[in-house]
Amino acid sequence: MNATARRVAVLGGIRIPFARQNGPYARASNQDMLTATLEALVGKFSLEGETLGDVAAGGVLKHSRDFNLTRESVLGTRLDPHTPAYDVQQACGTGLEAAILVANKIALGQIDSGIAGGFDTTSDAPIAINEDLRGVLLELGRAKSNTARLKALTKVRPGQIVPQLPRNAEPRTGLSMGEHAAIMATEWGVSRAEQDELTARSHRKLAAAYDTGFLDDLVVPFLGLERDQNLRPDTTVEKLAKLKPVFGGKEGTMTAGNSTPLSDGASVVLLSTDEWAAEHDIPVLAYLVDAQTAAVDHVHAREGLLMAPTYAVPKLLARNGMSLGDFDFYEIHEAFAAQVLCTLKAWSDPVYCRERLGLDAPLGHIDVDKLNTHGGSLAAGHPFGATGGRIVATLAKALKDFGPTTHRRHPHRPGRGLISICAAGGLGVAAIMEAA
């Protein structure tokens, strides 16, 4: 066992453009998307025939047959088939959590390189048979005599033909993610205008990232799609203001514009030790410094479903002796514009910081110019498992471009980025990355 942790280098990532539900990827499976994305990474970093330490990836909406999806995808690529793989699932935190898992094994000396990724399809979604019918069929299977089989079959009813569709609802509250976010928006007094402003900004920033060529080596075309299908480069606050609310009732402030759409896509990132990167002649873009997950009790306590990152980040900062202002980039996953705004308000609120986070003073304000500088999920879309990979790859490249900070007080410290991702079940995942 290695006594000291090793630095974990982020060498880069790639993703396919994200598509809207039932769009160009309607007939693509999760495995199709992940395999294509992994294959693009293999091409980008010349990994043909390489045996990597691990490939960890996952998605939220999976078929039961896909118990080993990532391994199956690896076998479909030019990676050496001796490369192990496993599936990960932590709702919308999946992609970042996969990167943390791979990074931890690298840090511990268990592996020297690995790929982390995520995927999701809301189009090729699993449909389960009716729960009653499933009961009957299982009973049928258990039956040992024809009489018993016949008895089981008599329980089949016409209504049981209705299948079970996957629901975007919290099991313990019955509320959809959007309804939960609407409750948070109300609690924090988030206005419609603020949300639409953040949304328009996200589209502008992502469009610019495409136009300047920043995304050229981060996005690879798939099934004829070259850019994220959800991106509306010409959207404005005025256009967004015309949309009807979809969550929070008639007076609600949340629309299809300032909430992420159901999307399809996949993303992967390559991590390794410095030595492995040097041996393979791949430049290091950034380092994954540390990470923290947290959870809130959204069922019993007065806590917003998507507020867990507000707990994860202060712990992460304290452990690393940093403060909220010590970053050059903030990547806050835009599940809903309201989620981002609630998070920012919470961190600068003396009451929340003391009563919930147990801090003596507010965590601080974030300079909005440093937030999601290359666009966010509102513009790109949000295939649940794929968002973490998109963010890690984007931030790594942004940090590489940024180089050391020019800040007066820390003239030579490497550029720093903070990632914050909220997830279903009251979960939150956060990470710190630093420029190489």
Partner 1 sequence: MNDRYQQLVNTPIGKIVSKQIGLPSPVKLERYERGQRVVSGPVLLGAAPGGRLAGATAKVLAAIDADVHTPLEEHVRTAAADARLDAKVFNPEAAPEDQAFKALVFDATGIERSEQLRELWAFFHPTIRRVRQSGRVIVLGTTPGDCKRPRQATAQRALEGFLRSVGKEVRKGATAQLIYVDAKAESQIESTLRFCLSPKSAYVSGQVVQIGISAMSANGIDWELPLAGKLALVTGASRGIGKAIAKVLARDGAHVLGVDVPGLHGELEETIGALSGSALMVDITGDDAPARIATYLLEEHGGVDVVVHNAGVTRDKTLGRMDEDRWNTVLSVNLTAQERIGDELLARDVIRENGRIVCVSSMSGIAGNAGQANYAASKAGVIGMVESMAAPVAKKGLTINAVAPGFIETQMTATMPIAAREAGRRMNSLAQGGLPVDVAETIAWFASPASGGVNGNVVRVCAQSLIGA
Residues acting as catalytic residues = 92, 382, 422
How far the first Cα of the chain sits from its last, in Å, is 26
DSSP H or E run through 40: helix 30-45
Task: Pick the closer one to partner 1 by CB: 208 or 359.
Answer: 359
Task: Pick the closer one to partner 1 by CB: 92 or 190.
Answer: 190
Instruction: Return the HEC string of 208-219.
Output: HHHHCCCCCCCE
Task: Pick the closer one to partner 1 by CB: 108 or 359.
Answer: 359
Instruction: Return the HEC string of 260-288.
Output: CCCEEEEEEEEEECHHHHHHCCCCCCEEE
What is the closest distance, in whole angstroms, from the C-beta atom of residue 349 to partner 1 in the complex? 5
What is the closest distance, in whole angstroms, from the C-beta atom of residue 73 to partner 1 in the complex? 44
What is the closest distance, in whole angstroms, from the C-beta atom of residue 369 to partner 1 in the complex? 20
β-strand 54-58 against 113-120: which pairing, if any? parallel
Under DSSP, the state recorded for 73 is H
SS3 379: helix
User: How many other β-carbons are positioned within 10 Å of the β-carbon of residue 234?
Assistant: 9
d(CA 434, CA 429): 17
Of the candidates 332, 278, 309, the one whose C-alpha atom is nearest the C-alpha of residue 7 is 278
Task: Pick the closer one to partner 1 by CB: 356 or 397.
Answer: 356
Task: Pick the closer one to partner 1 by CB: 84 or 362.
Answer: 362
Of the candidates 384, 415, 420, the one whose C-alpha atom is nearest the C-alpha of residue 398 is 415
Task: Pick the closer one to partner 1 by CB: 238 or 251.
Answer: 251
SS3 53: coil
What is the closest distance, in whole angstroms, from the C-beta atom of residue 303 to partner 1 in the complex? 12
Under DSSP, the state recorded for 8 is -
Contact criterion met (CB below 8 Å) for 391 and 377: no
Of the candidates 176, 170, 378, 389, the one whose C-alpha atom is nearest the C-alpha of residue 265 is 389
Under DSSP, the state recorded for 78 is S
Cα–Cα–Cα angle for 320, 324, 326, nearest 5°? 75
Contact criterion met (CB below 8 Å) for 310 and 347: yes
What is the closest distance, in whole angstroms, from the C-beta atom of residue 343 to partner 1 in the complex? 13
What is the closest distance, in whole angstroms, from the C-beta atom of residue 311 to partner 1 in the complex? 16
Contact criterion met (CB below 8 Å) for 416 and 398: no
- Token output for 251: 């007076």
β-strand 85-87 against 54-58: which pairing, if any? parallel
Task: Pick the closer one to partner 1 by CB: 129 or 357.
Answer: 357
Instruction: Return the HEC string of 88-117.
Output: CCECECHHHHHHHHHHHHHHHCCCCEEEEE
What is the closest distance, in whole angstroms, from the C-beta atom of residue 66 to partner 1 in the complex? 42
What is the closest distance, in whole angstroms, from the C-beta atom of residue 362 to partner 1 in the complex? 8
Task: Pick the closer one to partner 1 by CB: 89 or 186.
Answer: 186
Q: Where on the chain is the footprint of partner 1 (CB under 8 A)?
A: 185-193, 251, 253, 345, 348-351, 353-355, 362
